[in-house]
Amino acid sequence: MGDSVVSEEELRMAIRNRVGRLKVTGESPEGMAMLHSVIPTYGLPTDYYERFINYISRLSPVDISRELRSLSKPVIAVVG
């Protein structure tokens, strides 16, 4: 990615995709069990998914670029 910045639209699309996948996973009993089994397994707060959605919804393209630049090894990041 170098010094380029992810576009606002690319980021919003990726966030909508991630949130949508979480919601679809929770529509089946198996998915709901899987989502909720993660919470005690890793000692997460009971409102983990709500916090996660709020956190990623506030990300900006500059945040993504800053984090990519801070990685010690070159990586390829696919957004979307």
* Mean pLDDT (the chain, rounded): 88
Q: What is the C-alpha radius of gyration for the chain, rounded to an integer number of angstroms?
A: 15
Asked if residue 3 has pLDDT above 70, the reply is no
pLDDT band at 2 (very low <50, low <70, confident <90, very high): low
Indicate the residue type of 68.
L
As a residue count, the chain comes to: 80
32 phi-psi bin (left φ>0, alpha ψ -120 to 50, beta other): alpha
CA distance 39 to 47: 9
> Each residue of 38-62: pLDDT tens digit?
999 999 999 999 999 999 999 999 9
Tokens, residue 63: 């945040």
| Overall pTM > 0.75 | no
DSSP state of 55: H
Q: Region 6-34: what's the mean pLDDT? A: 94
